[in-house]
């Protein structure tokens, strides 16, 4: 299995730090609004990465945080006349609803920055003790140049960075020793939420939050650290510096970054104002379609969002769901149980689609090619699943569809499953009506099911149903 490591700028073979286990940390959103579909891209992409590791038999520990204290949250709170906590709690709740609708698995742990201040203060203190950090008037800075590898992730040249940052020093905006130094702790301003620390009542810098939360929940060395490509510098560069300086160990073995989701080929972002929220898209489409749309592209390729592409994604997903529905319908109606000789010959073809799918995913999570393998399976299924197919063959097809789609987080037999559950409930209600000698109601339920194409059969073993 290969993945592109931003750190080495090459595709590397994945070798876990600890055999059989994968520890992943994904930087979560800052919660001051509904999430937009750009934020949804890393959620969907790294959830799929996680699902593929699970599929491969790894024990995955997946941590993704919420940044629930930040200037933007405070600004929104002031604008609405409520507390910062009210804003962050509200949008965490909404974000979790969106994530569930996109079929993103809940993280093993979802830490909130504001509940982890203790670990951050401890880490900052360690950095001060090791002379990697210093305090000036209640603000603590990281001494970037002291960390020899500073710049290794982003490949930035320190002298270029120095020139960029000099104007701040000249203008006296802050009191850093060096323009490259960044904030670990800042004192509070009037009216801002604050926590006690040895340096001032204040709050942590954004970068130290992830270093501390990753350490607490995953340990000092992890396998994969992930996020959108805009986080490479400064956020991830600074996380590496802090964690490796404090712990004296390599922080993350692999760094993976998704490319941006654009609108009209321009970066979609809250600050530019050119974004759609996930909620807005959900009003028009099942969010499975959004998920499918995202996975039809490679995660390291920029992706342009448009109505036409969403329609195409919907049609593509429908093609797969229809193929699965067809298999289920045939299975409910066939009288052939065991594999026929012809079907036995076809089995290796089904295995071939699984191999194609895995090869695509093994190649740096190429979900676009993995989707193609599922399309091929659908084409094959539409051709070979017929009225004369056996239950065994149809089962094999259905299970393969579900197994592969599940890796991508796509639910392709939901309709039929929900239907089956609804039918069972109605049958139960009909049995109750009969027990109570309410035959009119029992007949009414039977007719209702019939109108939906479901035929009931009263047998000695109980009531059975089939599609008409």
Where do contacts with ligand AMP occur on this chain (CB under 6 A)? 27, 29-30, 38-39, 41-42, 227-228, 230-231, 258, 260-261, 267-269
Nearest approach, Cβ of residue 98 and ligand AMP (Å) = 13
Q: Which residues of 348-358 are buried (b: 16+ CB within 10 A; e: fewer)?
A: eebeebeebbb
* Residue 210 binds Zn ion, judged by CB under 5 A: yes
Name the residue nearer to Zn ion (CB basis): 182 or 292: 182
Q: How far is the CB of 65 from Zn ion (least distance, A)?
A: 7
Contacted by 111, from Zn ion, ligand AMP, none: CB < 5 to 8 Å by type: none
Nearer to Zn ion, 176 or 236 (CB): 236
Q: Which does 267 bind (CB under 5 to 8 A by kind): ligand AMP, Zn ion, none?
A: ligand AMP
| C-alpha span between 126 and 133 (Å, rounded) | 9
From 72-80, 111-119, 133-141, 205-213, span contacting Zn ion (CB under 5 A): 205-213
> CB of 230: closest distance to ligand AMP in angstroms?
5
The answer, yes or no, to whether the previous bond of 234 is cis (omega within 30 of 0) is: yes
Closest alpha carbon to 105 in 54, 35, 68: 54
Chosen from ligand AMP, Zn ion, none, partner binding at 260 (C-beta under 5 to 8 Å by type): ligand AMP
33 vs 242 by CB, closer to ligand AMP: 33
Q: Which is nearer to ligand AMP, 65 or 381 (CB)?
A: 65
- Determine, following the binding rule CB under 5 A, whether residue 77 of this chain makes contact with Zn ion: no
Smallest gap from residue 161 Cβ to Zn ion (A): 20
Which of Zn ion, ligand AMP, none is residue 230 near (CB under 5 to 8 Å by kind)? ligand AMP
The encoded tokens of residue 79 equal 């604008």
How far apart CA 321 and CA 384 sit, in angstroms, is 16
Distance CA 345, CA 339 (A): 10
210 makes contact, choosing from Zn ion, ligand AMP, none, with CB < 5 to 8 Å by partner type, with Zn ion
Residue 269: CB minimum distance to ligand AMP, A: 6
Rounded (to 5) percent helix, strand, coil in the chain: 50, 15, 30
* Residue 41 interaction partner, one of ligand AMP, Zn ion, none, beta carbon < 5-8 Å per kind: ligand AMP
With binding defined as CB under 5 A, does residue 27 bind Zn ion? yes
How far is the C-alpha of 112 from the C-alpha of 231, rounded, in Å? 19
Binder of residue 42, out of Zn ion, ligand AMP, none (CB less than 5 to 8 A by kind): ligand AMP
CA distances from 199 to 114, 121, 206, 466 (A): 18, 10, 17, 72
Buried b (16+ CB within 10 A) or exposed e, 84-103: beebbebbbebbeebbebbb
Closest CA to 101 of 287, 318, 292, 293: 287
Ramachandran angles phi, psi of 68, nearest 5°: -110, 15
Cβ atoms of 105 and 48 within 8 Å: the answer is: no
Nearer Cβ to ligand AMP (204/227)? 227
Partner that binds at residue 234, options Zn ion, ligand AMP, none, CB closer than 5 to 8 Å by kind = none
Q: Is the distance from CB of 70 to CB of 192 less than 8 angstroms?
A: no
**Residues at the contact surface with Zn ion, assessed by CB under 5 A:** 27, 210
């Amino acid at each position: 299995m290969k993945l592109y490591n931003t750190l080495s700028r090459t595709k590397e073979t994945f070798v876990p730090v600890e055999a059989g286990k994968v520890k992943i940390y994904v930087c979560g959103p800052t919660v001051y609004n509904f999430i937009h579909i750009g934020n949804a891209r890393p959620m969907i992409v790294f959830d799929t990465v996680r699902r593929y590791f699970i599929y491969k038999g790894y024990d995955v520990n997946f941590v993704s945080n919420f940044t629930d204290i930040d200037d933007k949250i405070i600004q929104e709170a002031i604008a609405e006349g409520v507390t910062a906590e009210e804003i962050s709690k509200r949008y965490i709740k909404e974000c979790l609803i969106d994530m569930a609708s996109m079929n993103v698995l809940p993280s093993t742990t979802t830490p909130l920055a504001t509940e982890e201040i203790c670990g951050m203060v401890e880490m900052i203190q360690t950095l001060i003790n090791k002379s990697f950090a210093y305090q000036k008037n209640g603000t603590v800075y990281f001494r970037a140049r002291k960390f020899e590898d500073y710049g290794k992730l982003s490949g930035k040249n320190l002298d270029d960075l120095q020139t960029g940052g000099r104007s701040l020093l000249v203008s006296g905006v802050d009191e850093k020793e060096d323009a490259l130094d960044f904030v670990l702790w800042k004192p509070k301003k009037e009216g801002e939420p604050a926590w006690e620390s040895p340096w001032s009542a204040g709050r942590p810098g954004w970068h130290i939050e992830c270093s501390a939360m990753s350490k607490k929940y995953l340990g000092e060395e992890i396998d994969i650290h992930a996020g959108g490509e805009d986080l490479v510098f400064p956020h991830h560069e600074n996380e590496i510096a802090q964690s490796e300086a404090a712990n004296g160990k390599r922080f993350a073995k692999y760094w993976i970054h998704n490319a941006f989701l654009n609108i009209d080929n321009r970066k979609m972002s809250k600050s530019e104002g050119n974004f759609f929220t996930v909620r807005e898209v959900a009003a028009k489409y099942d969010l499975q379609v959004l998920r499918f749309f995202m996975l039809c592209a490679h995660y390291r390729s920029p992706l342009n969002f448009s109505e036409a592409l969403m329609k195409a994604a919907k049609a593509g997903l429908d093609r797969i769901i229809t193929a699965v529905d067809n298999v289920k319908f045939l299975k409910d109606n066939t009288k052939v149980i065991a594999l026929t000789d012809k079907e036995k010959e076809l089995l290796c073809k089904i295995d071939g689609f699984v191999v194609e799918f895995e090869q695509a995913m093994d190649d740096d999570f190429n979900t676009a090619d993995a989707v193609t393998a599922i399309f091929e399976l659908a084409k094959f299924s539409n051709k070979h699943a017929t009225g004369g197919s056996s239950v065994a063959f149809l089962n094999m097809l259905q299970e393969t569809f579900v197994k592969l789609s599940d890796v991508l987080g796509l639910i392709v037999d939901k309709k039929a499953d929900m239907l089956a559950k609804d039918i069972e409930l109605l049958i139960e209600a009909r049995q109750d009506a009969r027990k109570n000698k309410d035959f009119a109601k029992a007949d009414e339920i039977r007719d209702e099911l019939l109108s939906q194409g479901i035929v009931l059969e009263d047998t000695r073993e109980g009531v059975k149903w089939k599609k008409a």
